Structure 1
Amino acid sequence: MRFPSTPEYQSYDIVIVGGAIMGSSLAWHLTQDPDFDGRVLVVERDPSYEWCSTAHTNSCMRQQFSSDLNVRISQFAAAFVKNLRDHMGGDKRVPELSIQNFGYLYLADTESYAERLRRNLEVQRAAGAGTRLLTRDEIAAAYPFYALDDILVGSINTVDEGYWDGSTVFDWLRRKARENGAEYVANEVVAMTRAPSGQTIGSVTLGSGEVISCGQVVNASGPRAARTAAMAGLSLPVEPRKRFTWIFSAERPLDRPLPLTIDPSGVHVRENGGGTYMVGGHAEHDPAVDPDDFTMDHDLWEAHIWPIVATRIPQFEAIRVQSEWAGHYAYNTLDQNAVIGPHPELGNFHFLNGFSGHGLQQSPAMGRGLAELLLHGHYRTLDLSPFHYDRIVDNRPIVEQAII
C-alpha cells in the first residue's frame, strides 16, 4: 500500500508516530468517533511494514494473565475480532473472523510455579475467563504426546485463546482509518520542538524537512519508542528485544491440535495447521538490540530450542524446519506492561508503548482507550490509568507474571 511522502497540511490536531497496528488502531478509533472532526496524521517510516513488530508476530491471543486489567483487555480484543464487521459499520468488504481456540497450556515443573498458576487462575476466573487447572494425569489424558515426568500441573483455557488473523485486522484498521480521513505518510519523525512555554510539543520535523505543527503527539513507534521519546527530551524504559520464530513440519504429525504450550523453559510451540507447527523462543542472554537488527541466531535452534521441544514432545524428534525469522518485542524493562497516556509534565505527548510481546492482542483496547482520553479527557470503557507514565517516574512496577 503506497502512501504519499509529504503531508497535505502544515498543522494537525493529532500526529501519530508509527502506523503499525497500535497507531492504526488509535487512528481508526479517533476517526470513527462522531465527536471528532479534526485532522490526524500518521507518520510511518516503513509503509511496506516488512520490518515492524506487527509483521513478525505469532498472532495469538490469550486471557491467561496475572492482572485483571490485562485479562479484560484481551477479552475486548476477542470480542472485537469476532465482531470485526459490526465494529466497522457492517461493511460487507470486511470479512467475518473467528479465533482458533486451541488454547494456551502453561506447564509448571516446580511448586512455586504451580502456585503462581493457581493465583493467576483466581484472577482470570474472577474476570470471567474459562481457565482450568489440569493435573499431570489430566494433561496426559487430553494430550498423550507430552513427556510429563517433571510436570506438576498445567493451566489451560480454550475459550477465546489461540490463533487469530491479526494481519487482516491490521489491514482493515489501517484501511478504514484512511477512508475515515486519517492521513498516512511514508516519512519519519526525526525531531520534536517544544512550544515556547516548554510544556508542550509545538511541532515535529519530518525526515524530508517539513515542520508540522501539532495539537497532540502520540508515540506509537514500537521498538523505537525510546528514540521517539528522546526527541521530546523524555526517557522511556522500552527497548527492542530479539525474539525468534521457526515453522517446522513433523514426520509424524500429532493426532489432535496442539495448544500453544509454554514449557517451563520459556520455549513455546503451537499448532500451525497442515502438519506444521510454530516455535518461539530467545537466547538465554537477552540484551537490547538495534531496532534494525533482524539477524537470525542459527545456532540457537540446534543448541537450545529444538532439544527442549523434542524432549517435551518426543514425536517431534524427526522434523524439518520450513521457515524462520527474527522479530522484536518492544520490551518494557520496568514491568513488561504497557505505557499509555500523557506525560505528566509534557501534557500533549502521549505514550502507546512497551507491550512486551502482547501488543497485537492489546491493540483494540489500547487504541480505543487512548482515543477516549484524547477526545473526551477520560476513559469511557476500561480504565487504563494504572498503565500511565507516572509509575515509570515513581519506579512503581505493575509486574505481569505471565509474560512469554
Structure 2
Amino acid sequence: MEATRDVVIVGGGVIGSAIAYFLKAAPAFSGTVTVIEKDPSYEFGSTARSWGGVRQQFSTPENIQMSQYTQEFLGQISRLLGIDDTPVDVSYHEQGYLFLAEDRHIPRLYSNNAIQKGLGVNVGLLDADDLARGFPWMNVSDLAGGSLGLSGEGWLDAYSLNQAFRKKAISLGVTYIAQEAVSLDVDANRISAVRLADGTRLPGGHIVNAAGPAAATIAKWAGVDLPVRSRKRFAYSFSCRTEITGCPLLIDPSGVHMRPEGKQFLAGCSPPPENDPDCTDFDVDYGWFEEHIWPILAHRVPAFEAIKLESAWAGHYAYNTIDQNAILGSHPEVTNFYFANGFSGHGLQQSPAVGRAIAELITFGEYRSLDLNRFSFERLMTGEAISEHNIV
C-alpha cells in the first residue's frame, strides 16, 4: 500500500523550501513533508539567478509587511536556520533602494510615502537638491525628487538563502526528491497524488504548487487556469574606472535599475509589455543593453559613459499577468491544492513571510501571523486586481 505524505510541495526553490521549513519548524505540525525538485543543482531556477533584493518600498500594505518580516527573519537567521550552532551567512548587504522621480511621479511618490510611513518604514523623501548633495556622481537635471530607504533594505545571496532553507528543512525531517513532476491525480474536488517522471506515484494530503515559472503547467494538471507565465529578464554586469561611492540600488524613472556588486555593477530593465513574450530559454539579448540600458545609465551617471560589460545572464520571472502580485492559499474548489505563485520578481524577498503563511494555512486552516487573504486565488475569479505601484 502506498504511504500518503501529509504535504507534497512541487518546487524546491526558495518558496518551496521556505514552506517546508516553516511546516517542520512549527510545534503544531507533526506530519511529513516531501519536496519535489527537478533541478537539484538549482542552476537554472529563478532563485539562483535572482538579484537578491529586499525592500520595503511598496505601495501595498501587505507587500510592505511581508518585507518587514523578512528583515526580522534575516536578523535572526543563524538561530532559525543554523544547524549544530553553525552560523548562516547569506551575504546580506544593507543598502537602500532609491526610486527617482520626474515631476509627473511626485504625487505617487508622496502617496506611497504616506503608506510606508504609516507602517513604520524608515524611508526619506528627497528633492533634487538633496539628490545632488547626496549623490554628486548623479545627473539630477531632469529629476524632481526621490524616495530613499534609510534602513531595512538591501540585497543578499539568493542561492545561499535557498540552500539555508533547504538544509535546515532536511535536518528537520523534510524529504527532497530529485525528480520532475509530470501530472496530478484528481479525485472529485481533491488532488490525491503527484506523479513523477520515473513512474512514482506520491499520494498527498495537501499539495502545494511552488513551481515558480512552471506554476501554470502544474495548475493545468488539476484543471486550473493560473495566470502565471515565464518571462525572461536579463542581468548585465559591468565595470567602471571611476569610483562611484555610496551607491544604493537605483531605479530610474525609465525603469532601468542598477546597483553595485563588489567592484562592479549590475543593471537591468523590464521590457515593454508588447515585447515581453512567454519564454523559457536563457539566451541573452546584448542589444537590449547596448541600445536601451546603457544610454540611460550614461545619462543618469555620466561616469558610465565609459564602462566595460563583463558578463550577462538571463533568468525567469514567475509573472502574474493579472497584477504582478503573489497568488497565495488554497483553491476554492480543489480544496487541498495550495498556491504560492506569481511573485513577478519578489519571491525571494517574500519567501520567509510566504513560507510562514502557507504553513499556517495548512496547519491551522487560517493565517495567524499576517493576514494575506488579499492575495487569494478568488481575486482572479472576481477581477479584484491588486494595484501595486512600485513594481520593478
TM range (shorter): over 0.9
Q: Percent identity among equivalent residues?
A: 43
Pairing partner for 2:254 from 261, 265, 290: 265
Q: Which amino acid aligns with 1:41?
A: T
Is contact 2:206-2:336 (8 Å) kept? Answer: yes
Q: How does 1:15-94 map to 2 (within 5 A)?
A: 15-88=8-81, 91-94=84-87
Say yes or no: does 1:134 pair with 2:122.
no
Instruction: Tell me, yes or no, if structure 1 residue 391 matches structure 2 residue 379.
Output: yes
Task: Name the residue aligned to 1:3.
Answer: none
Q: Equivalents in 1 of 2:240, 2:185: separation in Å? A: 55
Give the Cα separation in 2 of the matches to 1:11 and 1:36. 16
Aligned to 1:308: 296
Over 3 Å counting, the alpha-carbon distance change for 1:57 and 1:96 in structure 2 is closer
Q: Which moved more, 1:156-165 or 1:182-191?
A: 156-165
Structure 1 pair 224–134 and aligned structure 2 pair: CA distance change class (3 A): same
TM-score (normalizing by structure 2): 0.97
Is 1:246 aligned with 2:227? no
Distance 1:52 1:386 in 2: 27
* Separation of aligned partners in 1, 2:81 and 2:250: 33
Contact residue 82 and residue 96 of structure 1 kept, 8 A = no
Partner in structure 2 of residue 152 of structure 1: 144
* Superposition map of 1:158-307 within 5 A: 158-195=150-187, 198-254=188-244, 256-274=245-263, 276-284=264-272, 285-291=274-280, 293-307=281-295
Q: How far, CA to CA, are the matches of 2:159 and 2:119 in structure 1?
A: 28
CA distance in 2, matches of 1:152, 1:143: 14
Q: CA RMSD for the aligned pairs?
A: 1.5
SS in 2 for 1:156: strand
Tell me if the contact between 1:82 and 1:99 (Cα under 8 Å) persists in the aligned partners: no
Kept in 2: contact 1:94–1:172 (CA 8 A): no
Query: Is the Cα contact below 8 Å between 2:88 and 2:164 reproduced in 1?
Result: no
Deviations 1:147-196 (A, max 9, x none): 1111111011120111223322211110010111111011111111112x
Q: Which amino acid aligns with 1:190?
A: V
Using the TM superposition, give the Cα deviation of residue 11 of structure 1 relative to its aligned residue in structure 2, in angstroms: 2.1
SS in 1 for 2:93: coil
Q: CA–CA distance in 2 between the matches of 1:10 and 1:302?
A: 55
Distance 2:179 2:156 in 1: 30
Distance 1:42 1:341 in 2: 18
Indicate if the aligned counterparts of 1:19 and 1:220 stay in contact, CA closer than 8 A.
yes
* 1:374 pairs with 2:362: yes
Deviation at 1:91, TM superposition (A): 4.2
Q: Is the 8 A contact 1:241 1:286 kept in 2?
A: no
What secondary structure sits across from 1:53 in the alignment? coil
Q: In structure 2, what is the equivalent of residue 6 of structure 1?
A: none
Instruction: Give 1:37 deviation, angstroms.
Output: 1.9
User: Could you say which residue in structure 2 is the equivalent of 1:106?
Assistant: 99
Distance 1:261 1:87 in 2: 31
What is the CA–CA distance in structure 1 between the aligned matches of 2:208 and 2:83, rounded to whole Å? 29
Cα 1:80–1:334 change in 2 (3 A) is same
Q: How far off its partner does 1:84 sit?
A: 0.2
Cα deviation per residue 1:262-312 (whole Å; 9 max; x = unaligned)?
0111010111122x1111213334423233x11111211111111111111
Residues of 2 paired with 1:122 and 1:131: CA distance? 10
d(CA) in 2 for partners of 1:252, 1:297? 26
Deviation at 1:96, TM superposition (A): 5.3
Q: What is the CA–CA distance in structure 2 between the aligned matches of 1:115 and 1:85, rounded to whole Å?
A: 41
- Distance in 2 between residues matched to 1:206 and 1:98, nearest whole Å: 35
Report what 1:333 is aligned to.
Answer: 321
How many residue pairs end up in the alignment?
Answer: 391
Give SS of 2:303's match.
helix
Paired letter, 2:349: Q
Preserved CA contact (<8 Å) 1:99 1:164: yes
- Paired with 2:288 and 2:369, the residues of 1 have a C-alpha distance of 43
Contiguous gaps of at least 5 residues in structure 2: none
Cα deviation digits, residues 112-136 of structure 1 (max 9, x gap): x111111110111111001111000
Letter in 2 for 1:184: Y
Check conservation: 2:82, 2:88, Cα contact below 8 A: no
Q: Answer yes or no: is the 8 Å Cα contact 1:242–1:286 preserved in 2.
A: no
* Cα contact 2:10–2:36 (8 A) shared by 1: yes
User: Which AA in structure 2 matches 1:23?
Assistant: G
Q: Distance in 2 between matches of 1:96 and 1:50?
A: 20
SS state at 2:130 partner: helix
Whole-angstrom CA distance in 1 between matches of 2:90 and 2:380: 37
Report the CA distance shift for 1:97/1:50 in structure 2 as closer, same or farther (over 3 A).
closer
